[in-house]
Amino acid sequence: MKALFYPGCSMQKNARPYLDSLLAIREVIDLELQEIEDWNCCGATEYMSVHRVAAHSLVGRNLALARQQARDTDLLTAGCSACYLNLAKTDTQMREDAGLKNTVNQALAAGGLEYKPGSIKVRHLLDLVCHDIGYDAVKARVVKPLHGLKVAAYYGCQVVRPDYDGRWDSHEHPTSMDKLLAALGAEPVDWALKTQCCGGHMTVIGPDVAFGLIRRLIHGAREAGADLVVTLCPMCQLNLDAYQVEMNKHFHTDYQVPVLYFTQLMGLAFGKKAKELGIGKEFVDAAPALAKIQAEAPKVAETKRKRRPKPGDALPMPGME
Amino acid sequence: MNAATAIPSTSSRPGFLGEVMDRTPGDNRLDLCIQCGSCGGSCPAGREMEHTPRRLFALIRADEREQVLRSNAPWYCVSCYYCTVRCPQEVHITDLMYTLKAMAIEAGLYHDASLPDFSETFVDYVEKYGRSFELGIATRFNLRHHPLSLAGMAPLGLGMLKRGRMDLTPHRIDGMAQLTAILEKAKALEGGLQ
């Protein structure tokens, strides 16, 4: 199937393994992606707090470009929860609110663009994989089933809620990713926190709040017997993986629960090499968990060299010019 | 979300309630809040908020503009939408939190400047480059508000660099002139929607 593709800022860098693994599996599942040319940031959850009309216009430019560039498809997919929700929200609210539609289109006209709400169908990547490509088609491509691997399917917030188009079986206890992981041969664990918050932007503006939320999730996954957490969102991955290390320092704990993207597990089940799928770039090493399915996982970069930090190691300070 | 229930929401209410409703897109149904507290009970950050959404909404009805806009509550909202899907009256609670944040910035009413500044720092980078730039946002925000935490954050930053998960320089989109024209026009129109 064909779909327009909005990668979003995170997938370019911090969630590069998500993008790499998606690119590695797309042919296996017959998914043809057409990236929107010269897309801009979706505004995350921050732009909306400062300028609401501008936030919708920011997203409106992406929707207008998608419509303009579309070849043989009106589906637009994003892998990031916030990107997906912002695209869906602007489209939905322009459909429901004639005043907003006119205002956003007046703003877009200043850049020579126009967007007719509803002319693009916004779908999260997991939605396309589970509901359009389907579990049977995925299962048919599995050459290396993930037998013995216990996984906690973690959906986070913004894909299953508010769910404007009713794409999911539940806002609180969805099962689509669990079924996908089962189709890959893994064993999804039953746990209650699959749509609880990862901390969102609180890791930056209020880390103590975020650490509490991260501990709850990581602890919950471990208690449920999961070898790893499987996610569909760059922010969830960053908060649960990189900030798991910070959370451990904060609470003097030693949780070691790796967090991978569902596309990485699909790649492993399709027989792709771990390195090609970006496995090894996580902070909490996934190698011990993946040893259960004998997937070779490259050693995490950190263990490579141990030397005293030099003055030049400090983080460079970027300016606004 | 479910289809809106049969009772329509009344638009253009007087006072602060009307102002908040008019500035939030769609049928946001704030006037239909029954003060049940499902929102606060569902909120992952509710414990840290000075007012739960339920209390904020009661204050909005009581025209307590300043107390509402000074509250840390909207800034602690993590946009998880639990309150929104659980609200029996289908009030668009998360969207209302965005409205309150924008109004607080406009009115200059927040007791902790670091809360809106994260959003504003993010916006500055997007308006300059058309893309987000994590390193710049995190360093500028922390330098300004938590300079002592920078040393503690260094291992995380270096870890991101080592794993090739962080850019050192921002990426600028080609259509920056077009985006700027759109955003400037949108801001000029911002007031016109009310």
- B54: CATH: 1.10.1060.10
* Residue A61 · residue B182 · CB < 8 Å: yes
Predicted pLDDT of residue B152: 79
pLDDT at residue B4 is higher than 50? no
Listed by number, the residues of chain B in 10-69 with a beta carbon closer than 8 Å to a beta carbon of chain A are 23, 25-27, 44-45, 48
Q: What number of other Cβ atoms are within 10 A of residue B107's Cβ?
A: 12
pTM of the model: 0.91
Q: Mean pLDDT over residues A56-65, rounded?
A: 98
Whole-angstrom Cα distance, residue A199 to residue A105? 34
Best residue in A53, A81, A114, A115 to probe B by mutation, most B CBs within 10 Å? Answer: A53
Reported confidence tier of residue B151, pLDDT bands at 50, 70, 90: confident
Selecting from A12, A106, A202 the residue whose C-beta is nearest the C-beta of B45 gives A202
CA distance A241 to A248: 11
Mean pLDDT of A177-204: 96
Average pLDDT in chain A? 93
Q: Tell me if B24 is assigned to some domain.
A: yes
B109/A contact by beta carbon, under 8 A: no
Averaged pLDDT, A183-190: 98
Tally of domains within chain B: 2
pLDDT at A56 exceeding the cut of 80: yes
Minimal Cα–Cα distance from A8 to chain B, Å? 8
Task: Among B107, B126, B156, give the residue marking a domain's end.
Answer: B107
- pLDDT for B90-133, tens place per residue? 999 999 999 999 999 999 987 788 888 899 999 999 999 999 98
| Gap between the Cα atoms of A213 and A246, Å rounded | 13
In a domain, B56, yes or no: yes
Total residues found in chain A within this entry: 321
Domain co-membership, B96 together with B136:
no
Using alpha carbons, select from A245, A202, A236, A232 the residue that is nearest to residue A217: A236
Compute the nearest-CA separation of B4 from chain A (Å).
Answer: 12
Q: Is the backbone peptide bond immediately before A162 cis, with ω within 30 degrees of 0?
A: yes
| Structural domain boundaries enclosing B27 | 15-107
CA distances from A216 to A174, A205, A223, A249 (A): 19, 19, 10, 15
Residue A309 pLDDT greater than 60, yes or no: no
pLDDT of residue A31: 98
Residue A305: is its pLDDT beyond 90?
A: no
Same domain, B32 and B91: yes
Rounded to 5°, angle at Cα A14 from A10 and A17: 100
Are B96 and B123 found together in one domain?
no
How far, in Å, CA of A105 to CA of A64, rounded? Answer: 10
The gap between the terminal CA atoms of chain A, to the nearest Å, is: 44
Which of B38, B76, B80 is the best mutation test for A, with the most CBs of A within 10 A?
B80
User: Distance between CA B109 and CA A51 in Å, rounded?
Assistant: 16
| B1 falls within a domain | no
Q: Does B66 share its domain with B31?
A: yes
Q: Quick one: tokens of B17? A: 């309630």
Topology of domain A2-124 in CATH is: Glutathione S-transferase Yfyf (Class Pi); Chain A, domain 2 (1.20.1050)
Q: Are residues B120 and B103 in the same domain?
A: no
Distance between CA atoms of B71 and B66, rounded to whole angstroms? 9
User: Hey, how many other C-beta atoms are within 10 angstroms of the C-beta on A304?
Assistant: 8
Q: Which of A126-140, A271-285, B132-146 has the lowest mean pLDDT?
A: B132-146
Q: What pLDDT, on a 0 to 100 scale, did the predictor assign at position B1?
A: 44
A159, A84 in Cβ contact below 8 A?
yes
pLDDT grade for B35, boundaries at 50, 70 and 90: very high
Residues of A in contact with B168 (CB under 8 A): 316, 318
3-state secondary structure of A78: strand
Q: Which CATH class is domain A143-303?
A: alpha beta
What tokens does A136 get? 């049977």
CATH 3.40.50.11810 residue ranges of chain A are 143-303
pLDDT, position B153:
80
- Mean per-residue pLDDT for A245-266? 97
d(C-alpha A56, C-alpha A100), whole Å: 9
Q: A296 pLDDT exceeds 80?
A: no
Task: State whether residue B64 is helix, strand or coil.
Answer: coil
Please provide the DSSP assignment of A140-181 as one string.
Answer: HT-SS--TT-EEEE---STTTSS-TT--SS-SSS--HHHHHH
Neighbours of B43 (CB within 10 A): 24
Q: Within this chain, do residues B78 and B135 fall inside the same structural domain, yes or no? A: no
pLDDT at A312 over 80: no
Residue B192 has pLDDT above 80, yes or no: no
- Between A145-149, A166-170, B26-30, the lowest mean confidence (pLDDT) is in B26-30
The least confident of A152-156, A303-307, B78-82, B120-124 is A303-307
- Quote the pLDDT of residue B13: 79
B3, part of any domain: no
Least confident of A40-54, A110-124, A179-193: A40-54
Of chain B, the percentage scoring pLDDT greater than 70 comes to 91
Spatial strand order of the sheet with A150-153 comes to: A187-188, A150-153, A228-231, A259-261
